[in-house]
Amino acid sequence: MKNTPAIRSADTLLADVCSNALQHIENGVMLLDSGQKILFWNQWLVRYSGITAEQAVGKCIDDIFSYPLPSVFLEAVTGACQHGLSRILSHKLHAHLLPLQNPESLSRIFHSIMLQPLPGSTGVVLVQLHDITNAVRRERHLRQAHKAQSEEKQFIDTVLETISALVVVTDAAGFIVNMNHSAELHTGFSEAELIGQPLKMLLGLDSFKHLSNQQSYAGELRSFNCRMTNALDEEIQVRWTVKAVNENDDPLRYLIYTGQDITERERADALLRLEREMLEMAAGNEPADNILNHACLALERQLESCRVAVVQINIDNKLQVRNGPGLPESFCEQLHDLQSERLLRVLEAGLEHGQLQVFTVQPKGDHWQPWLALAKQYKIAGCWLMPIQVNPEVSQNLLAVFPRYKSSPCPHEQMMVQRIGHLTALILERQQQQEQIEKLALYDSLTGLANRSLLNEHLQRAILRSMRVPQAFALLFIDLNGFKAVNDNHGHDAGDALLVALAERLISRFRASDCCARMGGDEFVILLDDVQDDSIAFAIAESLLSLIAQPLAWGKHQLQVTASVGIAMYPEDADTAAGLLTRADNAMYHAKADSKINDQGCVMRLNPSDYQS
């Protein structure tokens, strides 16, 4: 074929377009020759390095920066230029790469670098730089959050696993020779009072059967449980472990008794079981109401003669029982009907600091009479309220305990309610975060429309439905005309506002069974469910042209764009998700070509001959 002027002109135009694209791409692009000299330096690099193309081109890469570049980068450049080796470097793996910074915030630009020798060239290397600042910061945030969670868990584990043991040492005859401070605190006796006394005096009558033959403990570790009275004259259950102390075959010299108050341990075990069950339910993505109902019932088994519920301060500032599996329905209804303003004022300070607050059934004025009447009707001695969610964006939840006999909790009961309240708050917060993460994974963060992943899911489901029950559907691929001018003339905030407004228009226009998605930039895709022929799709697409062309007020200006729409029909045009998207995309590009002639936008569906061409 002759190299006509027209062909040369087209080649020149294509080269200019490619060069312009590389200049304005949202990544750094440079070309190096075999001697590591810069052949090309695009605008992204100018912006973030502060070095112009005139300053860079023709110079070695390590000569244009004010201080030496890291060896890992220089080695990668040498390997690419001289040996044809591709290489990827990243701030995720290497602390120092190129000295790039954001000119507005003067903050460091974390980036990745890909060096790739160009095939068919003599030592020319393409170097691409990608801004990974947000990704690095997200990873750092996640690492910090994980570290904080690990430290918190380690602290909780340490508190739970540390047991204040009672230690008593006797001689071979069973007389006390030593005891630790914990034994003194538990028994109320001082060491001086018990030295030389028989161990049976300390442990009480229940220990006699276990201490009848102490010589039998020689050479082995044994355990027994016994009831004894503590310093507060309360009966407690203690598990004792006995270890004989002797050397070789010498006669028994001492017995070491290590005691654990298993009264608290059993309570703690019950609490741990409940916490573990709640965490397992949360890990299994159980609904929050199921977890809260389970927690309420489990607490009722551990708190003697108490009813437990989760109450919510609703939008009307009234107490509404959210979860109360053990409460009568009539009680829940009457509680909701009570005036709560005064109670909420009393609660306000405690809610802010996440504190447990205790209310007793005592006359405190006429305004409390309805509350006292409700308590009397259902034989309630008080109310303990523990905030389990302090978040201004959601309704305030509280763990509510309604005791029947005692108005105030003992320390153990207070600790139990507080811990379950804190754990429930963490679980609810985790579920909210999980829901947010799932939303970010499937929806466009700017417009709230489905993203590419969610669109593909809808496409796959639509194809499967059509395979079971034959029916057609349509795919509309939309590209905005004139959107770049909006960004250039009015700024990216204006462009974002226009995209959000267009998304709202699309959502209001289509059915719930349809899917509106943003593919990125100014491209949208609409999945029209159950569309039997393309005339319907064309009618809808034509209506979109006027819908999209409606101007949006932006200060003193009017933002306006038109649209090019490509149509693909299932199964006529393609029978796969990828095929449909490709077909609709190609049709959109043909429509865009016509839109340059017709300023009002264009709708097009390719016929087979167009597609093959």
Please name the CATH architecture into which domain 452-612 falls.
2-Layer Sandwich (3.30)
Mean pLDDT of the chain: 84
pLDDT at 220: 66
- Are the CB atoms for 480 and 595 separated by under 8 Å? no
pLDDT at position 10 is 62
pLDDT of residue 91: 81
Mean pLDDT value across residues 523-547: 91
Strand, coil or helix: 303: coil
Cis before 571? omega within 30:
yes
Query: What is residue 392's predicted lDDT score, i.e. its pLDDT?
Result: 55
The lowest-confidence range among 186-200, 203-217, 292-306, 340-354 is: 203-217
CATH homologous superfamily of 13-135 equals PAS domain (3.30.450.20)
pLDDT attached to residue 608: 66
User: Which is nearest to 3 in space by CA: 18, 15, 11?
Assistant: 11
In the structure, what pLDDT confidence band is assigned to residue 405 with cuts at 50, 70 and 90? confident
More confident of the two residues 7 and 297: 297
Judge contact between 520 and 588, C-beta under 8 A.
no
Alpha-carbon dihedral angle through residues 172, 175, 180, 183, given to the nearest 10 degrees: 120
3-state helix, strand, coil in the chain (%, to 5): 45, 25, 30
pLDDT at 583 (0 to 100): 94
Lowest mean pLDDT, pick from 217-221, 335-339, 403-407: 217-221
pLDDT tier, 159 (very low <50, low <70, confident <90, very high otherwise): very low
b (16+ CB within 10 A) / e for 561-591: bbbbbbbbbbbebbeebeebbbbbbbbbebb
pLDDT higher at 5 or 337: 337
How confident is the model at residue 395, as a pLDDT?
Answer: 64
Q: pLDDT tens across 119-140, in order?
A: 877 789 999 999 988 888 898 8
CATH of 166-264, one of 3.30.450.20, 1.10.287.70, 3.40.50.280, 3.40.50.10740: 3.30.450.20
What is residue 40's predicted lDDT score, i.e. its pLDDT? 92
Per-residue pLDDT, 315: 77
**For range 172-196, the mean pLDDT:** 85
Output the DSSP codes for 348-378.
Answer: HHHHHHT--EEEE-----GGGHHHHHHHHHT
Confidence of residue 157 (pLDDT cuts 50, 70, 90): very low
* pLDDT at position 162: 47
Q: Higher confidence at residue 438 or residue 557? A: 557
pLDDT category, 156, cuts 50, 70, 90?
very low
Q: Which residues have CB under 8 Å from 557's CB, separation 6+?
A: 490, 494
Q: How confident is the model at residue 218 (pLDDT cuts 50, 70, 90)?
A: low
**For range 584-595, the mean pLDDT:** 89
What gap in Å lies between CA 414 and CA 268, rounded to an integer? 13
> 49, 64, 120, 128: which is closest to 90 by C-alpha?
128
Please say if the pLDDT value at position 117 is more than 70: yes
Task: Please answer whether residues 359 and 329 qualify as being in contact, where contact means their C-beta atoms are separated by less than 8 angstroms.
Answer: no
* Whether 74 contacts 32, CB under 8 Å: no
| DSSP at 253 | -
Place of tokens 């590209």: 479
pLDDT in tens, 477-488: 999 999 999 999
Task: Identify the weakest region by mean pLDDT among 177-181, 390-394, 499-503, 581-585.
Answer: 390-394
SS3 labels along 326-340? CCCHHHHHHHHHCCC
Shared fold status for 13-135 and 452-612? no
Q: Is the pLDDT of residue 161 over 70?
A: no
Compute the distance between CA of residue 477 and CA of residue 515 in angstroms, rounded to an integer.
12
**DSSP string across 582-611:** HHHHHHHHHHHHHHTT-TT-EEEE--HHHH
Of 355, 352, 351, 403, nearest to 379 (Cα)? 403
Question: What is the CA angle 530-532-536, rounded to 5?
Answer: 95
Backbone angles phi, psi at 449, to 5 degrees: -75, 165
| Residue extents of the structural domains in the chain | 13-135, 166-264, 285-439, 452-612
The per-residue pLDDT for range 251-267, each reduced to its tens digit, is 788 888 888 888 777 77
Q: Answer whether residue 375 shows pLDDT above 50.
A: yes
Average pLDDT, stretch 242-255? Answer: 79
- pLDDT of 194 reads 87
| Cα–chain center distance at 13 | 49
What is the CA 154 to chain-centroid distance, rounded? 21
Higher pLDDT, 213 or 484: 484
Greatest alpha-carbon pair distance for the chain in Å reads 118
Confidence at 163, pLDDT banded by 50, 70, 90? very low
- Classify domain 285-439 at the CATH class level: alpha beta
Distance CA 550, CA 560 (A): 7
Does the pLDDT value for residue 85 go beyond 70?
yes
Q: Give the least confident one: 166-180, 237-251, 536-550.
A: 237-251
Contact 416, 401 (CB under 8 A): no
Interval 17-74: pLDDT, tens: 777 778 878 899 999 998 889 999 999 999 998 999 999 999 998 889 888 899 999 9
Q: What is the pLDDT of residues 418-452, one digit of tens each?
A: 888 888 888 888 877 887 887 788 898 899 899 99
Res 15 pLDDT > 80: no
pLDDT at 383 over 90: no
